[in-house]
C-alpha cells in the first residue's frame, strides 16, 4: 500500500484510493497539503457510508452497460526521450524500494485500559518504549519527532512533540543498563515522571506552544526576505534536532487496520503505532542502515519490562 510497483501511484495527487482484488483498501496520501486528522475524517466517513449504506451488495444486478463501447483505450505516443525517462525512473524506483523494509508487532499484554488504571499516559508509554528500544539497539538517544495536531486553530496543521527528554533518558538507562539497581517501585516512579512531562509537552504542542514551527517560520521568513541566517540556525545542534532519526506518528480508528510511512531521513525509522484498549500495535520502516526487525524486538522487550515493573515483577536481563 505504501509504494506497490510505482506504476499506479500518483504521488502528485492529494491522495490515492487503493483497492486490491480481495477488497482490501487503503488511502495513500502525499503529506504536504494536509495531515492525518483530515485524511482520517475522510476515511471514517467512507467507512461509515460503505458499511451502513453500501452502493452495491452481493444481491445487486450487474449494470447493463456495454463496457467495450463505454470504455475507450488511450494510446500514448511516446518519443525515445520519454521512453528512456520512464525506464530510468522505474529503475530508480525499484532500486530505492529494494532498500526499504517494513515490519510490525502486536503487543498483547495490555493497552489503554491497563495503563490508565496505572495512572500513566498510554502515549507516553509507547514513546518511552521507542526510547528504550533505540538505546538498547544503538546505545544512544537521538532526535525524536512526534506529530501533534493543531487543528483546534483555523488553518492549524501540526506542531512537534519532542518525546526524548532528560526524563526518558534517565528512565531508559535505568531499564536498559541497570535494571537490577532499581526496585519495581522506583522504575514505576520514573515512568510516572516521563508520563507527566510527556503530557505537558503534548498540551503545549496542541495549543501551538511548541518551538519547532515557530523557529521554522522565522527561518523561512529570513530566507524569503534575503536576510542573513541568524546564528542559531547554523548551530550543529539545530541541524541535529531536525535530522529526526525516530519519526513517530499515531492515529486510531475502528475504520483503520494499520498505517505507516517511510523514514524521513536515510538513517532513520518510520514508526507508526497505536495504543488500543487491550493491545499495542507498532509498524516500523527503515532503509538499509537500520534494522527494523531488531528494533521491534527491542520495542517488545521494552514493553515487557515496563509491564513487569507495573506488575511489581523484577526485570529480566
- Quickly state the pLDDT bin for 193 (edges 50, 70, 90): very high
**pLDDT per residue over 209-221, tens digit each?**
999 999 999 999 9
Supply the CATH number for residue 120's domain. Answer: 3.30.559.10
Could you tell me which of 203, 249, 243 has the C-alpha nearest to residue 35?
A: 249
211 DSSP assignment:
S
In a domain, 228, yes or no: yes
- Concerning whether 31 is annotated as a catalytic residue, the answer is yes
- When divided into structural domains, the chain yields a total of 1
In a domain, 59, yes or no: no
pLDDT value of position 23:
87
Could you tell me which of 122, 149, 131 has the C-alpha nearest to residue 245?
A: 131
In a domain, 292, yes or no: yes
pLDDT value of position 63:
85
CA distance 40 to 46: 10
pLDDT value of position 295:
98
Paired residues of 159 in beta bridges: 148
Segment among 62-76, 227-241, 257-271, 278-292 with least mean pLDDT = 62-76
CA distance 287 to 266: 6
In a domain, 140, yes or no: yes
Residue 126: domain span = 102-311
Segments in 1-79 forming alpha helices (H):
36-52, 67-70
CA distance 250 to 207: 18
Sheet holding 101-107, edge to edge: 101-107, 280-286, 269-275, 246-250, 144-149, 158-161
pLDDT value of position 80:
98
3-state secondary structure of 289: coil
In a domain, 13, yes or no: no
In a domain, 37, yes or no: no
- Catalytic residue from among 28, 31, 155, 276: 31
CA distance 205 to 213: 10
Contact 191, 120 (CB under 8 A): yes
In a domain, 147, yes or no: yes
Q: What is the DSSP string of 108-152?
A: -S--HHHHHHTT--HHHHHHHHHHHHHHHHHSS---EEEEEE-TT
CA distance 224 to 142: 31
Place of cell 523561512: 220
Which tops the pLDDT comparison, 65 or 147?
A: 147
State pTM to two decimals: 0.93
In a domain, 6, yes or no: no
Residue 49 half-sphere exposure toward CB, CA atoms < 13 A: 7
Amino acid at each position: 500500500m505504501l509504494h506497490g510497483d510505482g506504476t499506479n501511484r500518483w504521488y502528485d495527487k492529494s491522495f490515492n484510493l487503493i483497492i486490491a482484488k480481495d477488497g482490501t483498501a487503503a488511502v495513500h496520501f502525499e503529506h504536504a497539503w494536509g495531515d492525518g486528522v483530515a485524511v482520517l475524517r475522510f476515511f471514517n466517513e467512507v467507512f461509515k457510508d460503505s458499511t451502513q449504506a453500501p452502493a452495491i451488495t452481493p444481491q445487486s444486478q450487474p449494470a447493463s452497460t456495454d463496457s467495450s463501447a463505454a470504455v475507450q483505450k488511450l494510446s500514448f505516443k511516446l518519443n525515445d526521450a520519454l521512453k528512456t525517462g520512464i525506464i530510468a525512473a522505474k529503475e530508480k524506483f525499484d532500486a530505492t524500494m529494494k532498500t526499504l523494509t517494513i515490519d510490525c508487532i502486536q503487543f498483547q499484554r495490555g493497552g489503554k485500559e491497563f495503563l490508565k488504571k496505572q495512572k500513566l499516559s498510554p502515549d507516553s508509554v509507547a514513546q518511552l518504549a521507542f526510547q528504550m528500544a533505540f538505546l538498547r539497539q544503538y546505545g544512544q538517544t537521538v532526535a525524536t519527532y512526534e506529530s501533534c495536531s493543531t487543528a483546534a486553530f483555523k488553518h492549524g496543521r501540526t506542531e512537534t512533540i519532542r518525546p526524548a527528554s532528560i526524563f526518558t533518558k534517565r528512565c531508559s538507562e535505568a531499564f536498559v543498563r541497570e535494571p537490577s539497581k532499581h526496585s519495581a517501585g522506583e522504575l514505576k516512579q520514573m515512568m510516572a515522571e516521563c508520563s507527566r512531562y510527556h503530557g505537558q509537552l503534548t498540551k503545549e504542542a496542541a495549543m501551538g506552544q511548541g518551538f519547532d514551527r515557530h523557529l521554522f517560520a522565522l527561518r523561512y521568513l529570513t530566507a524569503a526576505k534575503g536576510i542573513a541566517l541568524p546564528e542559531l540556525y547554523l548551530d550543529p545542534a539545530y541541524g541535529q534536532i531536525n535530522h529526526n532519526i525516530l519519526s513517530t506518528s499515531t492515529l486510531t480508528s475502528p475504520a483503520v487496520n494499520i498505517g505507516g510511512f517511510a523514514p524521513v531521513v536515510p538513517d532513520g525509522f518510520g514508526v507508526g503505532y497505536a495504543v488500543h484498549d487491550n493491545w499495542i500495535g507498532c509498524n516500523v520502516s527503515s532503509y538499509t542502515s537500520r534494522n527494523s526487525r531488531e528494533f521491534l524486538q527491542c520495542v517488545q522487550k521494552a514493553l515487557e519490562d515496563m509491564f513487569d515493573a507495573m506488575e511489581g515483577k523484577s526485570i529480566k536481563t
